[in-house]
Amino acid sequence: MGPGSLVARLPGTPVVSLDSLQYDPRVTESLERRLQRLEDRLAIGDLVVAYATLLDDAQWDALGELFTEDGVFGSPHSTTTGRQAVVENFRVKHAPFTWTWHDPHGHLVEFEDDDHARGTVIGYAELGNDETTIVTSIRYHDDYRRVDGRWRFARRTVLSLYGLPDDQRATGLGHQERRRWPGRPAAAADLPDYERSHPGYPG
């Protein structure tokens, strides 16, 4: 057999030769695109973990670098715009606590195009000082943008299912007022109440 020799043949099957195999660039293109999507998903996943780690380590400037220059961090109760303003917001909000622990659990990502994606992150956090420990179940709604080859947060919105002192969790989860942060009046939780009353949030 010559260069167009038999590649494989079982009894009763037709002969398949290399000469009959045609290269289709669309196959390679599709594989490259799918591989890029996987790499982007991993990079966005790393972004989410880096956020939690840097927040807990109080590395504020490095945390700010995870946001675009015009990045937004918000909740149903406040919104901060601009990288430096976001960094200062983190400093102030975490000042009452001597330690924090943020643990992202599940992550959904949907791509809008090659450089923009949206995501939902489900997580849990503990924040403490010498007087109390707050436990909270949270959900982030994210907009991601690739800038100079790096994925960053264009917008991150946090909502809470509850935020309670640890010694009130057993009795407090059944109440509507499940946000009980030190120095603030008790208030209704963001989830599910907020999303049910604001269809399509964050829009």
Assigned domain for 68 exists: yes
Q: How far is CA 161 from CA 108, 138, 154, in A?
A: 18, 6, 23
Strand runs (DSSP E) across 6-98, as ranges? 6-8, 16-17, 67-74, 79-81
Residue 106: which CATH number? 3.10.450.50
What are the pLDDT digits (tens) for 55-107?
999 999 999 999 999 999 999 989 999 999 999 999 999 999 999 999 999 99
pTM of the shown model:
0.80
Assigned domain for 18 exists: no
What are the pLDDT digits (tens) for 143-178?
999 999 999 999 999 999 999 999 998 888 888 899
For residue 86, the enclosing domain spans 24-197
pLDDT range class, residue 24, cuts 50, 70, 90? low
Assigned domain for 2 exists: no
Dihedral sign for Cα 178, 184, 190, 196, please: positive
Assigned domain for 138 exists: yes
Paired with 6 in beta bridges are 17
Three-class SS state of 168: helix
Q: How many domains does the chain have?
A: 1
Contact 9, 24 (CB under 8 A): no
Locate tokens 């008790």: which residue? 186
